Structure 1
Amino acid sequence: MLQAAIFVIFPFCMAFAAVSDMLSMTIANRVSAFLILSFAILAPLTGMEWAQYGMHFATFAALLATTFALFALGGMGGGDAKLIAATGLWFGFSPALAEYLIYSSLAGGALTMAILVFRKSGISVIAGNNLFLRHFADSSVGVPYGIALGLGGLMAFSGSPLVAWALASLTH
């Protein structure tokens, strides 16, 4: 049961954040809150040492401070800032965190380039009324970066400490 929660909650939240940002240009606070609350409950049940548990929350705090500074400077959206921090909580200071940040950056760069090309194409005029493409076509809005954060999170998730615990517990 605990393993199932680990395998379902994080990927669902990443996918939900990506789709939500694509459709509405917002990432609901409840997604980040659910990631934080579920980690806070699940991690101790895995037998995670309290020092490591604390380091995961230190990762969260460091990412939240950094991303909110970027938000204050206009470099990112508030939902993106909260999602990065909540996602980082699940990774802690681990190689998976670096993977997450790299994958998200690469996906975000590719997404941004694709949207810029799309906005200059004739297709964007036709797609402007499409529910799924309207924000991609609208040059007055930014880039729905939650898509890149969701993809990055899903790509790096297999290296997270909770997944490592869940896989090890299933093999015993």
Structure 2
Amino acid sequence: MAHEKLSDLFHDTLKDIYYAEGKILKALPKMAKGAQSPELKAAFEKHREETEGHVERLKQVFGIIGKPAQGKTCEAIEGILGEGNEILAEFKGTAALDAGLVSAAQAVEHYEIARYGTLKQWAKDLGLKDAVKLLDQTLTEESKTDEALTRLAEGGVNHKAMAA
């Protein structure tokens, strides 16, 4: 009984992150366009390419569990991306914009890291070894993106925002 409930929860959460990744794919070009720092623009563009791979891996995980790849509305990502849009609008043209975009992007990354970490553990518990590998690959990429964003913040984005 508990095993069935965990598999249902796994599937439900998989639909959640699939929806979120689709929304993130649409948001990244807008964030790249708004970024002032060439390094931040490049980071957003690189992550868009990675996110396309994340979506493909999620489709494979859906296949592993014998379910169609479909999303379900994720209110959390809607809220996080909404905050990013507010930063783009409110800080457009200011020295603080890039610092705000890094902050918004890290909120997205932390959400994804939490989701992928949970899904990976559940896949282990459910004996879905192939899914574990796919989810771990994405989790590693999300963690590296978060670290890269931290380096951008520490490397000057935040200081430029303070100096203005």
TM-score (norm 2): 0.35
Higher helix share: 2
Choose between structure 1 and 2 for higher RCO, CA contacts under 8 A separated by at least 6 residues.
1
TM-score (norm 1): 0.33
